[in-house]
Structure 1
């Protein structure tokens, strides 16, 4: 007979070579709902709500290895619009949930989707989006980003004017003064522009002064001081006064009035005494961004008081939670600080080991207390060429580096955890013999390793085609007992003689273990290698602070 099943099969079969295989990943599984991915393989399309989550958490900046930024953004926006059309209030609630919890490394995608919802045809959706503005646009910079996005979708109607007006009027006078002084202009927008378009009625004399200051300048506003909070006036005057002061005098004023870096003239920011004053009240996110410059000016040095203060703040889990410092921001800061120079600037510094260690520890703290499942896990990291693409919004941190760091969170909590990387098989590896340049390389990750070491080791691994079925194939071949396989990938895969879902089912049959598969999506695309009809497979979003907890719950 002619064996048609050598080309078409829905169950895994055993080939003469001893390698398991059925439908190649470059072809769809017969009878399935798989679609072509961007790399020439086939995977399942995720639904629009999953795609929305991926965009809110991952963004689309820089695109992916296979999809350009423009195309990826348009695809993501199409999915967001579909969600808004289906259930606008639900989409807005999702935006608020992810943004307010600090689950994304950048807030821009949330502001973009909120602007889309604010321009929706549905009245209820528009109202929900505009009502949510203060919870998503928490700073002046966020507000200006939102207004720039909104300009592309609609004009300034009554609803927008009211919402922007509330953003200013519902803040306390001291908070509003901080916003006006620190976040003066972004994206071609300023407080002057927003206030002139919104025309809010000031709820107090101090608000009136701040509105006038933002629109007409201090010379006009300072003439109206009746019933105005004195400390607000003094703070603004101090910001203007330090422009002509010596560094020592400016430092004293900074301490008295709690001025921030943005309120200090650039020429004063080369002096350690000024940075010492700024450090005392510096927000945690600003502290992480300015570690390099504080080291360069000599403020941060081994055993210095400033270094001890920084280490203590980076070890404060409650402060990290309140500041919404994202783990990927800490990872990017750790990579940059440890190398001793910025990615764009020529400035150099000598890294302080205690601060490198503190950044390392803060990365784990930012995920919160991840529970141990006590299960047997196998983690597989995609380190293919496509994963060399940068993390959206963090252009100097690759997806392969970030995935290794995320895997460390699980390694640190699970006592039984085997880790491998998809490579080209040129290293001593558990490579497959299916004719593709693919393989697995054992990756010895330890909870005791530092992030910078793991990032460097991962970056040195050889690229190769990614066969996401290999963890299940090798575990089946060697009879490794695995309760859950966790694959970190962009799902842009094609190399392999069997689909991962088929390989997982074959592993379950051979081993008698109801093994699960978790696919951690490392790109904001629309694909997954997890079968949506299999309750033992789960698709989650990478770089989400909630991901390690979701994985632990699912595996347990």
Structure 2
């Protein structure tokens, strides 16, 4: 989002301050602060990582421009969807902008996030779930935040949960006794007290496994609610290893089959569930996972980012990893791999097109680097995006290029579904022992082809100044030779030199892994202006 020159693997406050403060401050000082607010509003829910949004919002909220600050605080209701987002926003306000104490505007905005939250007003159990699920993030506790912002509860149910979060269930019950208690007019008659009492019971740790499983089924708890001893395999002695493993397996089976486990949690824990023996071929658990991964409605409601799915696919299909010096292996489920790729295609949601496209994937050594801090090689990310476009195009060709361009065929697997496993393996075999590729090669391939392309898409790690000039020159030569209205798209996964210019609107630059990137690329090639707009801001500082 920031366009930083270099990768941020662990974005500490110091790194963000050194890299992006100048750009954000310059925009605010030049009167473009509301433009930042507008952009943050539009990308809400479409980002791969939340920290850039939280940092930019914190900078705007604590800036000297009162209008920008006011709008930034109003925006936290839309941008911060869960308490952990709110805590990260407060963390950046405190450490990046040197917020001291709890100023009135900051306190009121945080309090309003709780008391005016529509989801909480409609479902108080959801509020109780979030209070217990997100107890502490980024060194900031739910208890500390609620105590410091002094929210005014709109009703007794809110007051009961606020008292529980700050003082515990016993104190909350003193003011609002359970319905069975008599002699007090203030009685907590809804399910919140039952939920919190059951949660505190299993949290104590002195309960049998059956009680924990019954509680999970009753309240559809998430894995964050479960006591650590039921989620971590004990290794005190050989005698107890099998017993704890079975308990561990039974907990995860219950979480998967009897709760609405979020899509992100399913994707993140595929390796864990496979190692426990849950995702064996044709099992009930594997069928449910594959069904959820292939359900467009569930994927849309979960708002999962395509890059999350792709990263999970890259990690899962290897069948091994190393953690804390220990080699960890698992039996890869072919059904899960196929479901993950289909899930990636669903999240892209590309409409069919009859445009003739040339997709060119760079095969230089740098393409073996990872995308940001993920385990996903740039080459695999590029191949998956190319395959997604290829699958929705009736007329497209794919090439890999280093010194020269060579045709690359995606092989159908079954029912017109392309084999992502085969594609990723063969794309690795195309690696060339060169540092930088010849960016004229794809255009030379296009000129030698009899057919004229409507769009030429380059996928590479980064583009420097000289390479950008080469792409512009080669593209211009191709247009003059064919005398056609062709479009060029340059996709990079690191901060790069822009290829497009104000004079040539037929070139689109795409950086990173935006959730809507593929859709916008197809719109650009089809001359569809929807989703594109001119933003006039000065980024110099």
* Contact kept? 1:491, 1:528, Cα under 8 Å: no
Give the secondary-structure state (helix, strand or coil) at the position aligned to 1:417. Answer: strand
- Compute the displacement of 1:169 (Å): 1.4
Offset at residue 181 of structure 1 (A): 0.8
Aligned to 2:54: 111
Give the Cα separation in 2 of the matches to 1:77 and 1:277. 46
Say which SS state the counterpart of residue 93 (structure 1) adopts.
helix
Q: CA RMSD in A?
A: 2.7
- Residue 316 of structure 1: CA displacement? 1.3
Query: Structure 1 pair 493/90, CA: closer, same or farther in 2 (3 Å)?
Result: closer
Which residue, out of 291, 309, 312, partners 1:312?
291
Which of 238, 254, 257 is equivalent to 1:277?
Answer: 254
* Partner SS for 2:353: coil
Contact 1:206/1:227 (CA < 8 Å) preserved in 2?
no
Determine the C-alpha separation between the residues in 2 that align with 1:73 and 1:387: 29
Q: Is residue 107–residue 150 contact of structure 2 (8 Å, CA) maintained in 1?
A: yes
SS at 1:415's partner residue? strand
Measured after TM superposition, the shift of residue 500 of structure 1 is 1.0
Q: TM-score, normalised by structure 1?
A: 0.80
Structure 2: gaps spanning 5 or more residues: 177-185, 232-244, 527-541
Alignment of 1:398-413 (within 5 A): 398-413=377-392
Contact 2:365/2:432, CA 8 A, preserved across alignment: no
Match of 1:454 among 415, 423, 438: 423
Determine the C-alpha separation between the residues in 2 that align with 1:342 and 1:258: 31
Query: Could you tell me how far 1:496 is from its partner in structure 2?
Result: 6.2
Which of the numbers 437, 444, 464 marks the counterpart of 1:493?
A: 464
Alignment length (residue pairs):
481
Corresponding residue for residue 289 of structure 1: 268
Corresponding position of 1:543: 513
| Structure having greater relative contact order (Cα 8 Å, sep ≥ 6) | 1
1:352 aligns with 333
Matches of 1:312 and 1:334 in 2, distance apart? 16
| Structure 1 unaligned residues grouped into runs of 5+ | 1-50, 424-437
Answer whether contact 2:464 2:496 (CA < 8 A) is retained.
no
Deviation at 1:319, TM superposition (A): 1.2
List aligned pairs for 1:83-482, cutoff 5 A: 83-85=27-29, 86-100=31-45, 103-151=46-94, 152-155=96-99, 156-171=102-117, 172=120, 173-225=124-176, 226-242=186-202, 243-269=205-231, 270=245, 271-279=248-256, 280-281=258-259, 282-342=261-321, 344=323, 346=326, 347-368=328-349, 370-392=350-372, 394-423=373-402, 438-446=403-411, 448-460=417-429, 461-464=431-434, 465-482=436-453
**Secondary structure at the counterpart of residue 121 of structure 1:** coil
- For 1:395, what is the secondary structure of its paired residue? coil
CA distance in 1, matches of 2:461, 2:503: 20
Distance 2:61 2:217 in 1: 41
User: CA 1:381 to 1:81, structure 2 compared with 1: closer, same or farther past 3 Å?
Assistant: farther
Q: After TM superposition, give the deviation of residue 478 of structure 1 in Å.
A: 4.8
Q: What is the DSSP-based 3-state SS (H/G/I as helix, E as strand, rest coil) of the residue aligned with 1:442? A: strand
Report deviation, 1:555: 1.2
Match of 1:79 among 23, 29, 36: 23
TM-superposed CA distance for 1:358, in Å, is 1.1
Q: 1:361 to 1:197 in 2, by over 3 A?
A: same
Mapped partners of 2:152, 2:493: distance in 1: 46
Q: CA deviation at 1:503?
A: 1.0
Instruction: From the superposition, tell whether residues 69 and 359 of structure 1 become closer, same or farther in structure 2 (CA, over 3 Å).
Output: farther
Partners of 1:256 and 1:139 in 2: CA distance: 23
Structure-2 separation of matches of 1:506 and 1:304: 57
Q: Contact 1:292/1:337 (CA < 8 Å) preserved in 2?
A: yes
Checking the alignment, whether the CA contact within 8 Å between 2:306 and 2:348 is kept in structure 1 is yes
Q: Deviations over 1:458-489 (max 9, x none)?
A: 33422421232321133224555222111123
Deviation, 1:198, is 1.0
Map Cα deviations across residues 498-535 of structure 1 (whole Å, 9 max, x no partner). 61111111111112222211112322x25222233202
